[in-house]
């Protein structure tokens, strides 16, 4: 479990949110409307070798083709769908 401590009146800062996401064991990615990776937590960076700012195609190269396409299509819809993905063989 992760807990973010903050004053009630102040929204969490980007740094606080990133620290919270970086503490997760589960790889987390956020892909923006331009199909670029806007956030990758440490677990995602270690598993996929990706970093924020990369194009989604490059960042998701470790996924098999069907999974990569599913992510790109979900990103194009921009509905906030949470996807669970499979890595490609050997990835």
Query: Is the per-residue pLDDT at 91 higher than 70?
Result: no
Q: Give me the pLDDT at residue 39, please.
A: 86
Provide the b/e sequence for 48-69 (b: ≥16 CB within 10 Å): bebebebebeebbebbeeebbe
- Tens of pLDDT along 56-76? 889 888 888 888 888 777 777
- Tens of pLDDT along 5-55? 556 656 777 788 888 888 888 888 888 878 888 888 999 899 889 988 999
Q: Give me the pLDDT at residue 88, please.
A: 60
DSSP string, the chain: -------TTSPPPHHHHHHHHHT-SS--EEE-TTSBEEEE-HHHHHHH---TTSBHHHHTTTB-HHHHHHHHHHHHHTS-------BPTT-
């Amino acid at each position: 479990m992760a807990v973010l401590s903050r004053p009630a009146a102040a929204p969490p800062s980007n740094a606080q949110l990133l620290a919270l996401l970086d503490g997760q064991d589960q790889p987390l990615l956020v892909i923006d409307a331009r199909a670029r990776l806007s956030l990758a937590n440490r677990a995602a960076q270690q598993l996929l070798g990706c970093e924020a700012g990369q194009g989604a195609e490059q960042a998701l190269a470790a996924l098999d083709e069907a999974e990569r396409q599913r992510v790109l299509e979900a990103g194009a819809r921009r509905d906030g769908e949470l996807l669970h993905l499979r890595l490609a063989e050997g990835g």
